Amino acid sequence: MARIVLKFGGTSVGDTHRIKNVARKVKAEVDRGNEVAVVVSAMSGATNQLVTWVNEIAPLHDAREYDVVVATGEQVTIGLLALALQQLGVKARSWMSWQIPITTDSAYARARIQGIETTEMAASMTAGEVPIVPGFQGVSPEGRITTLGRGGSDTSAVALAAALKADRCDIYTDVDGVYTTDPRIVEKARKIDHVTYEEMLEMASQGSKVLQTRSVELAMNHHVRVQVLSSFDEALGSDLPGTLVVDEEEIMAQGLEKSVVSGIAFAKDEAKITVTRVPDRPGVAAAIFGPLAEANINVDMIVQNVSIDGSSTDTTFTVPRADLARAVERLDKAKAELKFAEAKADINVAKISVIGVGMRSHAGVALKMFETLAAKGINIQVISTSEIKVSVLVAAEYTELAVRALHTAYELDAA
């Protein structure tokens, strides 16, 4: 007998027919004698609709009320799934996050889980009941509802698996695993059988939304075995050949083959800001990025040119597109003190990243990227690297072309 957490994403619970299908999958795991807890997302499109309504009323809104609204999508699906399971004769009940409770910090709309009280839930599981838990939400120290950032149900599932000391966390979605790149964009994308936590973390944080970044971080830190699989496949549970996210040692121990580059990610949700004619003296970078950090805005890629005459320089960086207006507002406020000429914003950008642990031991990965893009006439605006990743910023219209060309260049295309 194993203890497993199953997570079903938005498309998997997109209508009542699909919820019944999910109930059958959950029942199959119960029938195998497993102890099962389930995490669900809102129906696909539901959260987007809720966000739209909030923005129609108040574009610059109180995040606490935003959370009250957008957390409702998951309340619908936990109740419906509990009912669908009861219809199949499976004992099941829904738990709202405040009933468990799943506690978070007070960073509304982007909260982090701080703890999950599992005593009561574990007891109900041992007694043969399936708990159905809403993804994406928690409760703050002030006792108010919080949400974990878009795609946060993955994180809820991994956190619950860690808290319950589950043997596995199965993430059911609308593709049958993690691919070398988004299979909806590149037809020749190949399914990866095993991926390391580190690579998955880079892929997720660089835009592969198949798993929320924070969920991979948690899985890595708590050694949760994560499996990504399709809820639309007829086969059931562990019979499905999904993608396993595991330690690098496990991959090495099994002698599994790894290519230098494992995957290509892209993100169109960043914006570029160029601050022009910044005085070139110590402390200026801190003065630019200080106000952004204070406003909780994450800066990603950064380039600063050498000043030609030693007096002023341009600084270019990227921020999440959703934070662009606030970032520009903050910079404009600091303009008098910083004495720069202008803060120019550009949303017509995409970040493309090649990722692989093999980069540690192989040279020339970045060069191949630059040559491949040059051959397609694609201009690189900003570059950033880590030990296992190279990212470039290009004009958004080249995204698909760049990703396809790189996928071929690194020999990732499916046969």
- The residue from 65, 167, 174, 314 that contacts ligand ADP (CB under 6 A) is 174
Q: How many CB atoms lie within 10 A of CB 223?
A: 10
How far apart are CB 3 and ligand ADP at their closest, in Å?
A: 22
User: Which partner from the list ligand ASP, Mg ion, ligand ADP, none does 174 bind, CB cut-off 5 to 8 Å by kind?
Assistant: ligand ADP
Contacting Mg ion within 140-159 (CB under 5 A): 151
Site string for ligand ADP, 8-37 (x = CB under 6 A): -xxxx-------------------------
Show the tokens assigned to 410: 């690194």
User: Which partner from the list Mg ion, ligand ADP, ligand ASP, none does 135 bind, CB cut-off 5 to 8 Å by kind?
Assistant: ligand ASP
Return d(Cα 402, Cα 390) in angstroms, integer. 14
Return d(Cα 65, Cα 202) in angstroms, integer. 32
> The dihedral of CA 4, 37, 17, 181: what is its sign?
negative
- The residue from 131, 134, 152, 183 that contacts ligand ASP (CB under 6 A) is 152
- The residue from 146, 173, 262, 399 that contacts ligand ADP (CB under 6 A) is 173
Q: Which is nearer to ligand ASP, 44 or 259 (CB)?
A: 44
Q: Which is nearer to ligand ASP, 152 or 263 (CB)?
A: 152
Q: What is the 3-state secondary structure (H, E, C) of 14-29?
A: CCHHHHHHHHHHHHHH
Q: Confirm if 135 and 40 have CB atoms less than 8 A apart.
A: yes
Under the binding rule (CB under 6 A), the answer on residue 42 touching ligand ASP is: yes
Under the binding rule (CB under 6 A), the answer on residue 210 touching ligand ADP is: yes
Return d(Cα 245, Cα 223) in angstroms, integer. 10
Q: Confirm if 195 and 178 have CB atoms less than 8 A apart.
A: yes
Show the tokens assigned to 278: 């910044």
Q: Which stretch binds ligand ASP (CB under 6 A): 106-114, 149-157, 304-312, 325-333?
A: 149-157
* Binding residues with ligand ADP: total (CB under 6 A): 19
Q: Between 399-409 and 365-375, two packed helices, what is the crossing angle to 10 degrees?
A: 130
Q: Interface residues with ligand ADP (CB under 6 A)?
A: 9-12, 41, 151, 173-175, 178-179, 181-184, 208-210, 263
